[in-house]
């Protein structure tokens, strides 16, 4: 039985176009999914759109459209972006899909029947942009939401509550005391800001607008957009539906590695309310929630409401999907906020993709072509010990990092090997060996390079998906099946004649 991996992104609000911040989460998920595929896992990758709630209702009204008409183009544009960015998702869920709506109603009924939901009245300040009732800590001195910087609405209405207060101990002693939420420092943040001060029951229906899923028991209530949204992670797999094969396989099975990704502003929902909902339903918890920081643009969060966004489609059109995937994977490690500007992007592209990786591949291709007519006979090769050891070490470090979802560190490992290869060329000076006709030595040097560059290219496969085939061809491995096992043992890998030299990542000025 292959090991199983289920990875999810948040489902995004179609209240505007997606920006680099959304592309960030989705690309991280995609890189990890592709890595797990390379490791032989059976994987399922879910993304989608979060289509109900007051914000969408208002946006549609502004556009003089019905919500569903308003959503159509927006959701199409999500799919267009994911295609352009080479996102290999397994399923795209829309919370307006009827199977989802029906299942959310069933989930509500189930929680009501189990006694976890009761009816009452709520009064509090609501941030429409975040779709969240805020506590005092989340409000600034001008009575605005600290995150979205928008005005709050005083809401006073009848509502159903989820008894989250019952789960204080569960949160403190189990969920937030475990390895579930990463990075680890986020556990204390959640404990101190939201759990220890008192877990208040969560309002899970709204009555003052109608764009949501009405509950069967009391249809003037629509399900609170977060209960609707969080459950997407299981409704998409067939939970409480006739065909629940994927649910059994990718959720119910304790052996499945479940990874959920979320930006820091919504870690609260994913690390507190979602585990409580799952626990109330009697379901297992995800293996990990990877919370990540924000992409900043000139030191503030890039966001639609702040109007400082960069359009990922523009970046892809200018530099290609791989360039954006690389920047996201390497330059924006998840444990802190990161910057995204054109200048930083170009600097990184030139330093790493053009100079290190691209140039290394093309200069090596050029030398093997010139000195060996593009083909090195696989006999009596003596590989350089140091560089060979570095190659093996790189594979191991890369696996260790990727297994901990540390994509940026894993890419650094590859770039280090690239630097070592470039240095090796400077030191061995193959052009002099050729001039002096030291052909055996020259062959060993070129074969050592070819081997280590092959390792680099293989390890870059989940990241540089658009250029992978070209890189493989350039290094002479067209049609050769590569696996972790094979590259580690350098076993049964027989090079072909190299493809013609191509410039893979052309320097940008
Ligand atoms: N619909 C909810 C999520 C429901 S999941 C059950 C939502 N949607 S959103 O459209 O606002 O997207 C939020 C997600 O987008 C964040 O968790 C994060 O993944 C990503 N980001 C949006 N802006 C971002 C940055 N500036 N930087 C990094 N990620 C950001 O919240």
What is the reported pLDDT for 307? 79
Name which residue sits closest to atom 29 of ligand 1, judged by CA: 21
- C-alpha distances in Å from residue 228, one per residue of 207, 215, 505: 15, 11, 43
User: Is residue 421 part of an annotated ligand binding site?
Assistant: no
Name which residue sits closest to atom 25 of ligand 1, judged by CA: 21
Produce one character per residue of 336-362: b if its CB has 16 or more CB atoms within 10 Å, e if not: eebebeeeebbebbbebbbbbbbbbbb
pLDDT in tens, 275-293: 999 999 999 999 999 999 9
Q: What atom in ligand 1 is closest to the CA of residue 229?
A: 6
Handedness of CA 44, 257, 31, 483 (dihedral sign): negative
CA 266 to centroid of ligand 1, rounded, Å: 7
How far apart are alpha carbons 489 and 258 in whole angstroms? 30
What is the reported pLDDT for 451? 96
Name which residue sits closest to atom 13 of ligand 1, judged by CA: 12
Q: What angle do CA 215, 220, 221 make, to 5 degrees?
A: 50
Pocket test for ligand 1, best of 9, 19, 20, 22 (most atoms within 8 A of CB): 22
Q: What atom in ligand 1 is closest to the CA of residue 302?
A: 26
How far apart are alpha carbons 403 and 399 in whole angstroms? 6
User: Per-residue DSSP letters for 232-261?
Assistant: HHHHTTTTTSS--HHHIIIII-TTSEEEEE
CA 129 to centroid of ligand 1, rounded, Å: 11
> Among candidates 213, 223, 233, which has minimal Cα distance to 9?
233
CA 426 to centroid of ligand 1, rounded, Å: 45
Q: What atom in ligand 1 is closest to the CA of residue 13?
A: 10
What is the reported pLDDT for 492? 82
CA 135 to centroid of ligand 1, rounded, Å: 20
Pocket test for ligand 1, best of 51, 233, 266 (most atoms within 8 A of CB): 266
- C-alpha distances in Å from residue 181, one per residue of 8, 46, 272, 288, 474: 15, 19, 10, 6, 41
Can you tell me whether residue 90 is helix, strand or coil?
coil
> Among candidates 284, 250, 425, 281, which has minimal Cα distance to 355?
425
CA 28 to centroid of ligand 1, rounded, Å: 13
Name which residue sits closest to atom 8 of ligand 1, judged by CA: 12
How far apart are alpha carbons 288 and 12 in whole angstroms? 20
> Among candidates 471, 454, 445, which has minimal Cα distance to 372?
445
Name which residue sits closest to atom 17 of ligand 1, judged by CA: 263
Name which residue sits closest to atom 2 of ligand 1, judged by CA: 12
How far apart are alpha carbons 410 and 395 in whole angstroms? 9
**Contact of 49 with 278, CB cutoff 8 Å:** no
How far apart are alpha carbons 493 and 159 in whole angstroms? 64
CA 358 to centroid of ligand 1, rounded, Å: 33
How far apart are alpha carbons 133 and 100 in whole angstroms? 24
Name which residue sits closest to atom 15 of ligand 1, judged by CA: 22
In eight-state DSSP terms, residue 355 is I
Name which residue sits closest to atom 12 of ligand 1, judged by CA: 12
User: Is residue 145 part of an annotated ligand binding site?
Assistant: yes
pLDDT tens for the 509 residues of the chain, in order = 899 999 999 999 999 899 999 999 999 999 999 999 999 999 999 999 999 999 999 999 999 999 999 999 999 999 999 999 999 999 999 999 999 999 999 999 999 999 999 999 999 999 999 999 998 889 999 999 998 889 999 999 999 999 999 999 999 999 999 999 999 999 999 999 999 998 999 999 999 899 999 999 999 999 999 999 999 999 999 999 999 999 999 999 999 999 999 999 999 999 999 999 999 999 999 999 999 999 998 778 888 777 788 999 999 999 999 999 999 999 999 999 999 999 999 999 999 999 999 999 999 999 999 999 999 988 889 999 999 999 999 999 999 999 999 999 999 999 999 999 999 999 999 999 999 999 999 999 999 999 999 999 999 999 999 999 999 999 999 999 999 999 999 878 899 999 888 889 999 98
- C-alpha distances in Å from residue 34, one per residue of 64, 187, 226: 41, 28, 29
Name which residue sits closest to atom 19 of ligand 1, judged by CA: 263
How far apart are alpha carbons 94 and 92 in whole angstroms? 7
How far apart are alpha carbons 107 and 94 in whole angstroms? 17
Name which residue sits closest to atom 5 of ligand 1, judged by CA: 10
Residue 174 CB partners (closer than 8 Å, separation 6+): none
CA 409 to centroid of ligand 1, rounded, Å: 23
CA 328 to centroid of ligand 1, rounded, Å: 15
> Among candidates 10, 101, 81, which has minimal Cα distance to 47?
10
- Structure tokens given for 394: 């790189």
Helices 359-372/468-475 angle, 10° precision? 30
Pocket test for ligand 1, best of 7, 8, 9, 12 (most atoms within 8 A of CB): 12
CA 6 to centroid of ligand 1, rounded, Å: 19
User: Per-residue DSSP letters for 388-431?
Assistant: HHHHHHHHHHHHHHHHTT-HHHHHHHHHHHHHHHHHHHHHH-HH
What is the reported pLDDT for 60? 96
CA 130 to centroid of ligand 1, rounded, Å: 10
What is the reported pLDDT for 304? 76
> In the structure, which protein residues have their CB atom closer than 6 angstroms to any atom of ligand 1?
10-13, 21-22, 24-25, 50, 229-230, 232, 262-263, 266, 294-295, 301-303
Taking the model in full, what pTM does it have?
A: 0.96
CA 373 to centroid of ligand 1, rounded, Å: 51
CA 10 to centroid of ligand 1, rounded, Å: 7
> Among candidates 255, 233, 232, 236, which has minimal Cα distance to 244?
236
Q: What atom in ligand 1 is closest to the CA of residue 263?
A: 17
Handedness of CA 160, 65, 147, 234 (dihedral sign): positive
User: Per-residue DSSP letters for 57-74?
Assistant: HHHHHHTTS-HHHHHHHH
Q: Is 110 exposed, middle or buried (0-12, 13-18, 19+ CB in 10 A)?
A: middle
Q: How many CB atoms lie within 10 A of CB 438?
A: 14
- C-alpha distances in Å from residue 334, one per residue of 282, 294, 351, 504: 31, 9, 21, 28
- Structure tokens given for 477: 């491995």
Q: What atom in ligand 1 is closest to the CA of residue 262?
A: 17
């Amino acid at each position: 039985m292959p090991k199983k991996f289920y990875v999810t992104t948040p489902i995004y609000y179609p209240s505007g176009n997606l920006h680099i911040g959304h592309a960030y989460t989705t690309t991280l998920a995609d890189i990890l999914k592709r890595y797990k595929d390379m490791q032989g896992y059976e994987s399922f990758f879910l993304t989608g759109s979060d289509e109900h709630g007051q914000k969408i209702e208002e946006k549609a009204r502004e556009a003089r459209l019905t919500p569903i008409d308003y959503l159509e183009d927006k959701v199409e544009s999500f799919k267009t972006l994911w295609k352009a960015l080479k996102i290999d998702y397994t399923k795209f869920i829309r919370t307006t899909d009827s199977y989802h709506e029906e299942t959310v109603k069933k989930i509500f009924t189930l929680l009501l029947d189990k006694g976890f939901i009761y009816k009452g009245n709520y009064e509090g300040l609501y941030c429409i942009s975040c779709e969240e009732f805020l506590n005092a800590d989340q409000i600034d001195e001008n009575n605005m939401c600290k995150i979205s910087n928008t005005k709050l609405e005083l809401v006073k209405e009848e509502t159903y509550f989820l008894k989250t207060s019952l789960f204080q101990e569960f949160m403190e002693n189990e969920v937030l005391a475990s390895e579930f939420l990463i990075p680890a420092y986020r556990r204390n943040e959640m404990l101190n800001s939201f759990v220890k001060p008192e877990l208040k029951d969560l309002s899970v229906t709204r009555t003052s607008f109608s764009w949501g899923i009405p509950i069967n028991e009391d249809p003037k209530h629509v399900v609170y957009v977060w209960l609707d949204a969080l459950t997407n992670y299981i409704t998409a797999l067939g939970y409480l539906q006739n065909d629940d094969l994927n649910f059994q396989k990718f959720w119910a099975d304790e052996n499945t590695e479940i990874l959920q990704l979320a930006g820091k502003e919504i870690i609260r929902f994913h690390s507190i309310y979602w585990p409580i909902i799952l626990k109330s339903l009697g379901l297992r918890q995800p293996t990990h929630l990877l919370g990540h920081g924000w992409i900043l643009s000139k030191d503030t969060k890039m966001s639609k409401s702040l109007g400082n966004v960069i359009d990922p489609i523009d970046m892809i059109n200018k530099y290609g999907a791989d360039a954006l995937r690389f920047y996201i994977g390497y330059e924006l490690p998840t444990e802190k906020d990161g910057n995204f500007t054109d200048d930083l992007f170009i600097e990184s592209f030139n330093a790493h993709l053009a100079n290190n990786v691209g140039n290394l591949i093309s200069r090596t291709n050029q030398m093997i072509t010139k000195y060996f007519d593009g083909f090195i006979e696989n006999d009596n090769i003596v590989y350089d010990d140091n560089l060979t050891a570095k190659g093996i070490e790189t594979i191991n470090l890369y696996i260790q990092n990727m297994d901990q979802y540390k994509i940026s560190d894993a890419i650094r490992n590859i770039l280090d090997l690239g630097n070592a290869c470039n240095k090796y060329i400077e030191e061995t000076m193959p052009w002099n060996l050729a001039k002096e006709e030291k052909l055996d030595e020259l062959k060993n040097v070129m074969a050592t390079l070819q081997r280590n560059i092959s390792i680099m290219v293989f390890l870059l496969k989940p990241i540089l998906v658009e250029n992978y085939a070209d890189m493989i061809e350039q290094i002479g491995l067209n049609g050769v099946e590569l696996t972790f096992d094979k590259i580690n043992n350098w076993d049964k890998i027989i090079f072909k004649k190299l493809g013609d030299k191509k410039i893979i990542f052309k320097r940008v000025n």
